[in-house]
Amino acid sequence: MKLLLLLFLFIGSVLGCEQAENAQEISAKHLEKQLAEIRSIINADTCSESGECRILAYGSKACGGPQGYLLFSSNLDVEALTRMVEDYNKAEDDYNKKYNVISDCMLALPPNKLACENGKCVQVE
C-alpha cells in the first residue's frame, strides 16, 4: 500500500512539473506573439522624413529596465501602439516574476539619433 501511495505521489509530482513547464511555454509563446504583432504594425508603416521617427522602450528585463527600443514613424496610431507596448511590458514583467526569470542586467540605451532611410526609421551612429 505504501509503495502504491509513493508511486501516485511520484507520478503526480512529475505531471505537475510538466503542467508548469507547459504553462510557462504557453506564456512565452504569447509574449512572442504580442511582440511580433507590435513589430508587424511598425513595419507596415513608412516614414518620409527623419522628423517623423520616434522611439519607444519595450520589454521588461528581470533586473529592471527595457529590453530595447522600437523605432517607428509617427504616421501610425502612436496612442494605440503605446498601449500595445505597455500591455506587452506588463505581461513580460508578470512573466519574469511568476517564473523567476533571470536576465543579463545590461542597460539598454536608447538610440541617440534617428533617420528615415528607404521609408523606415533607423538608428544613425
> pLDDT tens across 55-111, in order?
999 999 999 999 999 999 999 999 999 999 999 999 999 999 999 999 999 999 999
Task: Round to whole Å and give the CA distance between 29 and 50.
Answer: 34
Please say whether the beta carbons of 37 and 58 come within 8 A.
no
User: Is 50 exceeded by the pLDDT of residue 50?
Assistant: yes
Q: What is the mean pLDDT of the chain?
A: 88
Task: Round to whole Å and give the CA distance between 9 and 76.
Answer: 55
User: Is 90 exceeded by the pLDDT of residue 15?
Assistant: no
Which DSSP category does 48 fall into?
S
Average pLDDT over residues 27-48: 97
User: Is 90 exceeded by the pLDDT of residue 14?
Assistant: no
Please say whether the beta carbons of 105 and 114 come within 8 A.
no
Grade residue 9 by pLDDT with cuts at 50, 70 and 90.
very low
Element holding 123 (H helix, E strand): strand 120-124
Cell of residue 122, nine digits: 533607423
What does the pLDDT read at residue 7? Answer: 40
Q: Looking at the DSSP assignment, which residues form a beta bridge with residue 57? A: 69
pTM over 0.95: no
Grade residue 125 by pLDDT with cuts at 50, 70 and 90.
confident
What does the pLDDT read at residue 20? Answer: 52
Task: Round to whole Å and give the CA distance between 68 and 75.
Answer: 21
Q: Looking at the DSSP assignment, which residues form a beta bridge with residue 121? A: 116
